[in-house]
Amino acid sequence: LGRVVDYVILVATDWTIIPLENIIADLQKENVNIIAAVKNADDAKVAMETLEVGTDGVIFEPNDFAQIKDIANLIDELSTESYALKDLTITNVEPVGSGDRVCIDTTTMMKPGEGMLIGSYSKAMFFIHSESLESEYVASRPFRVNAGPVQAYVMVPGNKTRYLSELETGDEVLIVDGDGKTKKSIVGRSKIEKRPLLLIEAEYEDMKIRSLVQNAETIRLVDENGEPISVSVLEPGMKVKGFIDDSARHFGMAIDEQIIEQ
């Protein structure tokens, strides 16, 4: 069935969950969109979470505008991407000279504990904390992430990456929290300036990870307890949060291919 149609619309008359499970299980590897007819937001939630895969969409006849809002909010919530953050062990920290560094100024006021996934490798990124913390010498800028040099990757919606050098006003980026949950934000401005850089090296299992950040006290990663930690105090043996991806990437999209990054 999935080979000859683009959409399968399921309208259940009595049983709802079992038929939906069967359809999702049978067609999950087919290039087909599964749409379930539902009566309310509760039914929509069940449909979109069935077998941890869910349907590609829902169809319903609303009785009032409130129902439309409820289901729209639910779909927006369930469509949010999340990433399993890992504890990376720091192995080396050293200054490496200057380079062109990018600050991402977003249209979102980030809270403490939020930031972005950024790194020199698309398969291994550090959790860079936002500038949402007050300090003695510099005012907080909760809309900003001091991301790193121009060649680094940043995670964006759709499980894709972009080079920091590519970002410009109006582009979408992902804000991540300590649980790996994300929300979309818009780039309001991308600032590129020459700044001193710091090389950070870490390990996760057998993987070696390297990345560059600006060498300044206000640049923070996130430690194993979810607390912001300045790169100026990092030492070998400390653990910080990051994201490890099993996929290689081509033009920012995850693919099944062996690519060596070093």
Q: Which of helix, strand or coil describes residue 85?
A: strand
Specify the fold of 85-255: Endonuclease - Pi-scei; Chain A, domain 1 (2.170.16)
Q: Position 186: which residue type?
A: I
CB 20: neighbour CB atoms within 10 A? 20
The boundaries of every CATH 2.170.16 domain in the chain are 85-255
Q: Which of 198, 182, 64 is nearest to 117 (CA)?
A: 182
Q: Measured in whole angstroms, how far is the alpha carbon of residue 193 from the centre of its chain?
A: 25
Q: What would the pLDDT profile of 118-175 be if each residue is shown by its tens digit?
A: 999 888 999 999 999 988 778 899 999 999 999 999 999 888 899 999 999 999 999 9
The yes-or-no verdict on residue 2 having pLDDT over 80 is no
pLDDT of residue 255: 43
Q: What is the dihedral of CA 44, 46, 51, 57, to 10 degrees?
A: 0
Q: What angle do CA 128, 131, 136 make, to 5 degrees?
A: 125
pLDDT of residue 247: 55
Mode of pairing for the β-strands spanning 33-37 and 7-10: parallel
The residue that leads in pLDDT, 8 or 78, is 8
Q: Measuring CA to CA, how many Å separate 200 from each of 91, 99, 116, 207, 243? A: 8, 15, 16, 14, 15
- Concatenated DSSP letters for 153-207? EEEETTTEEEEGGG--TT-EEEEE-TTSBEEEEEEEEEEEEEEEEEEEEEEETTE
The yes-or-no verdict on residue 221 having pLDDT over 90 is yes
Q: Position 136: which residue type?
A: E
Tracing tokens 């590129």 back to the chain, one arrives at 192
Q: Measuring CA to CA, how many Å separate 192 from each of 105, 107, 186? A: 11, 18, 17
CA distance 52 to 99: 44
pLDDT of residue 43: 84
Q: How confident is the model at residue 250 (pLDDT cuts 50, 70, 90)?
A: very low
Does the global pTM surpass 0.85? no
Listed in sequence order, the DSSP H helices in 30-169 are 41-49, 65-78
Mention every residue, 6+ apart, whose C-beta is less than 8 A from residue 168. Answer: 187, 190
pLDDT of residue 12: 80
DSSP conformational letter for 135: -
Q: Which of helix, strand or coil describes residue 238?
A: coil
pLDDT mean across residues, the chain: 88
The residue that leads in pLDDT, 47 or 218, is 218
Tokens, residue 77: 């919530």
Q: How confident is the model at residue 199 (pLDDT cuts 50, 70, 90)?
A: very high
pLDDT of residue 262: 53
The residue that leads in pLDDT, 171 or 11, is 171
Q: Please say whether the beta carbons of 87 and 223 come within 8 A.
A: no
Q: What would the pLDDT profile of 43-79 be if each residue is shown by its tens digit?
A: 888 887 776 667 788 888 888 888 888 888 777 776 6
Q: What would the pLDDT profile of 86-117 be if each residue is shown by its tens digit?
A: 999 999 999 999 999 999 999 999 999 999 99
